[in-house]
Each structure stands twice: as structure tokens, then as C-alpha cells.
Structure 1
């Protein structure tokens, strides 16, 4: 084969390769959603002016690449390939622009889907199956972020969850004292469980709106909502009941007590000051180190606790291998150790 023929074959291969890359780029652009192309499109193509002005359509950006040093015929073929790539990109952009989501579309189509899914997540019980498509919800959020509806979506989400928490608070206020602690524990656990699904679904809104423009984090904002609309309104009724339950062994299960105390500490650590002894049983290092002068007081507290346990039917088991009173001082030693005594 002569030299001209070899050049022509080489140019055909380059042409096919360039056209294939352009078609693949167009396909990737249109198959956007919750997949791996989402982040690429959001950061590189679909964001507003913050992402920078459009790239110039110079030779270095064409599908055919830069062919300035090649013969005139080769440059002509490369230019044609670049034109095809440019047409494909323009067609892809046009397809996207034809799918513009107006504010009316958002309110009538996209937000109702998100609203329904949030409802189910907020009211589900542990272990329940939720018949929603996480991929569909994730895609809805993604598209709304791309179409500049982040601010409206964030506002709707906060309003939705605030209304839910206000209903939860009213239900707790109507609870009788013997059910109050358990119902608060259920409400707290249910909400924290819902956040494990809600926050990931709104990850694009969090990354490209809340973190970037508000300098906050979605999870922190939603935890703050529970603190303000539920916990703060009930802490002064809840704490006396917790202290009473602490002084009456087995009034509530240890797991319930632990969940509530740890949850309150997560919501607002300064609430430790309301009941330091209670929090110290479940949160490490919340009390100052013990001092030797207080050992007798610790021992007296341990003796009182053991007497209460015996009165409520708790048996010590086989004590034949211990000297009289040994369990009391071993208990006080353990207590001192837990307070940081060395």
C-alpha cells in the first residue's frame, strides 16, 4: 500500500475514534441520575455561573483535537470530525434545556414525591419495610439541585420536619407519667433512625447548597430541630422522671435509660449539669476525678444501692467465699475507679 493510502486509512481510524468519543460523551450526558455521572455533570456541566463560563470551542476542545501540524487534507478531515462532535454536544445541551424544571414543575411533580417519602421515613418503626424507590428520590433531589431549586427544597424540608416534630411534641405532652419516658425514647429513636435515610437522600443539596452557601451541615440542622421542638420543651418534665426511675431499680429497662441519657447528651451536652450522677452512669468522663476524701461517701452510696436491690428481690448469689462486707468495699473501689480515682 502506498504512503497516501496509509495516511487515508489512518485518518479514517482517527475519524471513527473521535466520533465514537463524542457519541459516548453525549450518552453519558443524558444518562444522568443517581449514578457515577451525577457528580461529573453537576460539577462540570450543569452548575450555574459559579462553575465558570463556557469553554471556548477552539481546536483544543474539539473532539478531533489539535491538528495544526498536519497536511491540509488531514486538517480538513479532522475539522469535519470536530464539527460532528460539536453538533453532538450541542444536541445534548438542547435535550437538557428541553427538560427544564420550572418552579411549577417542582411544586406539582418533584416535591410531592419527596414529601411522601419523608413522611414514610419519619413514621416508620424499626425493621419496617418502606415501599419507596431510594434511587428515584435521590434522582429527584439531584435534578432539582441542578435546576437551581435547592433553596426552595431546603425550605420545604425544614418546614416539613418542623411540622412533624411539633405533632410529636403534642403527643408527648398528652402522655401519662407512667408512659412518658418510654414514649420519649420511641420518638427519639424513631427520629434519629429516620435521619440515617433522609440525610443521604439529600446529599447533593447538602453539598452544593447547605455547606457551600449556608456554611452548615444538614444533619446538624435536623438534629437541632429535634432539640428545639421536642427535647427543650420536655426536658424539665423528663428529667425528674428519669431521676425517680434511677432511684427505683427496674422501673424502666436499662437500655431505655441508656438510650435517653445518651440521646440527651448528643442533643445538648450541657444538660449533664441537671443530673451529673445520672449522666455519669452512661457517659464516660463527665464528672471530675474522684478525691480520696470522698471515698467514704462513695461507699455509703454503694451500700444504700445494695440494700435497695435486696429489698426489690435482687439476690447476691453465693457469697461464701467473700469476707463479710467485702462486696461493699470492692463496689466502692470500682465506683472510685469509674470517677477517675488513682
Structure 2
């Protein structure tokens, strides 16, 4: 059975683990018995190894050293796929990660407003960083089960989980804070703002409609092109806005909180059209 899995892996361009990547199994048994992984073996030996590695990857901070053997985990997944445990392994993974994300969401809910943006940025960055290790470790399951039988992709599925269990629950609290931060220079670092806005766009592009001008600062070609005949109108609107800002104590180039609040349109169909002159 392992040979057939090796052949399939070669056909798909996925390298099979070498002899040095095998996990420790009783070598005194016959080759046939050595290659058999029962569902009980999977539950008692193989999944616990994967479960522990996933926990460490999901909770690591950037630059942390993770004391796990990537080669061992890679081989563990490979063996389980070859022994027809892909469906169970995928089910276990898809149940495990939402539990982690629910904890992340609750921690964000408890965050004070002045720390909310930064903590969301950390949670998003930590999860996306974990996917850079988790997805390659499960490459065999992705190739031989998710893509083949489910017609999906593991990375897309895992990103969708963050969208459903974290981002969707916080978007209506996060967006007003982002707009307020945009109107207050240096309240949030440009890199943090860029990371969050680009991340939200990756999770769900239609969220652009909530604040098109904000997204346009970090995502190219979000707003429609300016029509030449409308330039004079946009210039007049800009001059009026600057006068209002100066009257309210803002220096030239700042954006008022009033305007930032007005931009929060929550899927208004006219959002892009009404804001396209304020790039």
C-alpha cells in the first residue's frame, strides 16, 4: 500500500518521505504488519502527534523556536494518507482549529479599545504565519483527499475558518476603530494598518464596500478611475473638506473623525461612487 502511495505521489509531483523521515515503529514485526495503521493506532498514536504539533504552531510567536520534528510530522501525515485515514485526519483538523479560533475570538472581545487593533493584528499575523507551516505538513492529505475528493484546497479551508470564527465576529467593532485611527495620525502604525486592511481583503474582498477609501490606500485599483469632467467637483469638495478640518483644529492633510464615521457605509451600493474623489 505504501508503494502505491509512493507512485501516486510521484505522479502528482509530491516527493515521498525518505528513509530518514519514518517515525519509530517496532522493526521486529513483519513488513506487512509494520505498514498497517488501524484506526485505533491512528487515534492513539498518530493523531496525538499531529495534535500537539498543531497546538505549538498555532500559538507560536514570530521568531519562536518550536521543538517539534517537522520531518516526523510530515512522515506521520504521509503514512496516514497511505493507510486511508485522510478523511478522519481532515475531520480532526477541521474540528481542532475552530476550537483554537474561538479562544482567540473571546480574547479579542475582552480587549480594551486602545489595544483592540493591535491585538487583532497579532492574532491575524500569528494564524497566517501558522498556516505557512501547517499547510505544507499536510500536503499529502491536501493532494490525495481535499483536492481530489472534495475539490477544495486546504489553505483556502483554513483561511475560511479564521473568517468565520474570528473576523466575521469582529469586523463591525474593528472597522470603526480603523477609520478613527486613520483620522488620527500615529495612533496606529502604518504597517499595522496595512497588515489588517490587506488581511481583511484576503479574507473577504467584499468588505471593501464598508470603507472603500480606507481599503484604496493599501489595495490598488479599489476605487473606479476619476472622470476628467468630474475633477472640478472633486477639487471643490476637497477644498470644502480642508476648510472644515482647519475650523475644527486639524492641520492640512489630516482627516476629520466626522468624515471617517461618514465613510462607514456597511455595504452601501453607492459607497465607491460617493468616495472615489477622495483618494
**TM-score range, shorter-chain basis?**
0.7 to 0.9
Residues 51-79 of structure 1 show CA distances to partners (whole Å, capped at 9, x for unaligned) of xxxxxxxxxxxxxxxxxxxxxxxxxxxxx
Q: What residue is the counterpart of 2:86 in the other structure?
A: 150
> Does residue 172 of the first structure (1) align with residue 108 of the second (2)?
yes
- For 1:202 and 1:238, the matched residues in 2 are separated by 32
Shift of 1:290: 1.5
Q: Distance in 1 between matches of 2:141 and 2:218?
A: 35
* Aligned: 1:213 with 2:149: yes
CA distance in 1, matches of 2:8, 2:56: 30
Give how far 1:97 is off: 4.5
Q: Is the 8 A contact 2:238 2:278 kept in 1?
A: no
Q: Please give the TM-score of this superposition, normalised by the length of structure 1.
A: 0.63
Distance 1:177 1:99 in 2: 54
Q: Distance in 2 between matches of 1:97 and 1:303?
A: 81
Q: 1:136 to 1:42 in 2, by over 3 A?
A: same
Question: Aligned equivalents of 1:152 and 1:268: distance in 2?
Answer: 29
User: Is the partner of 1:286 in helix, strand or coil?
Assistant: coil
Give the count of matched residue pairs: 234
Task: Specify which structure has the bigger relative contact order, considering alpha-carbon pairs within 8 angstroms and separated by 6 or more residues.
Answer: 2
Given that 1:249 and 1:309 are in contact with CA atoms closer than 8 Å, whether structure 2 keeps it comes out as: no
Query: Hey, what does 2:218 align to over in structure 1?
Result: 282
Distance 1:269 1:141, change over 3 A: same
SS in structure 2 of the partner of residue 126 of structure 1? coil
Distance (Å, rounded) in 2 between the aligned partners of 1:107 and 1:243: 48
User: Which moved further from structure 2: 96-105 or 181-190?
Assistant: 96-105
The one of 140, 150, 163 equivalent to 1:227 is 163
Kept in 2: contact 1:141–1:201 (CA 8 A): yes
Aligned to 1:40: 7
Shift in Å at residue 219 of structure 1?
Answer: 0.2
Matched, 1:101 2:37: yes
Taking the aligned partners of 2:161 and 2:215, their CA distance within structure 1 comes to 23
Distance, in Å, in 1 between the alignment partners of 2:155 and 2:112 is: 31
Determine if the alignment matches structure 1 residue 308 to structure 2 residue 256: no
Q: Give, in whole Å, the separation in 2 of the partners of 1:275 and 1:338.
A: 12
Cα distance in 2 between the residues matched to 1:284 and 1:311: 21
RMSD of equivalent CA atoms: 2.7
